[in-house]
Amino acid sequence: MTRTPDRVASTSATGLIAVTGATGHVGGLVAHDLAREGARLRLVVRSAARAPQLPGATVAVASYGDHDSAVAALGGVDVLFMVSAAESADRLDQHRTFIDAAVEAGVRHVVYTSFLSAGPDATFTLARDHWATEEHLRATGLPP
């Protein structure tokens, strides 16, 4: 991201942005870029000890499959950047639980890292999971 006055103004007007996966590659890059832009950030991580130290960022501990910790972590958040969970047998359930918690917490917009050509008939199993997560997100009524 290139720092410009317009970008800083639009980032700060967004309100509180939660970023999941901040200890990983994609979430970490997003969190660092948003921090550089001066965004109000909450890093939602499974281990506070592993969270990056970013200016102005707060840290909340939650996991995708734990509804109560997710609701608490997402309270007051306007926008959620949700990195898809690691491959596991209950990955889709984790995604649904976390999205439902975001809705309950009052999150207004979710940006979800999906997969190219995600669909119900995709050959790649994870692409089907991504499609189902997208469908669940659409069903919440949150804006695309």
The CATH number given to whatever domain includes residue 43 is 3.40.50.720
| Torsional class of 68: left (φ above 0), alpha (ψ -120 to 50), beta (otherwise) | alpha
Strand partners, 24: none
Supply 61's token pair: 């501990």
Tell me the average pLDDT across 32-58: 97
Whole-model pTM: value is 0.88
Buried b (16+ CB within 10 A) or exposed e, 62-81: bbbbbbebbbebbbebebbb
Alpha carbon distance 56, 43 (integer Å): 11
What tens digit of pLDDT does each residue of 74-87 get? 999 999 999 999 98
Residue 62 placed within a domain: yes
Domain limits at 107?
5-139
Domain count, the chain: 1
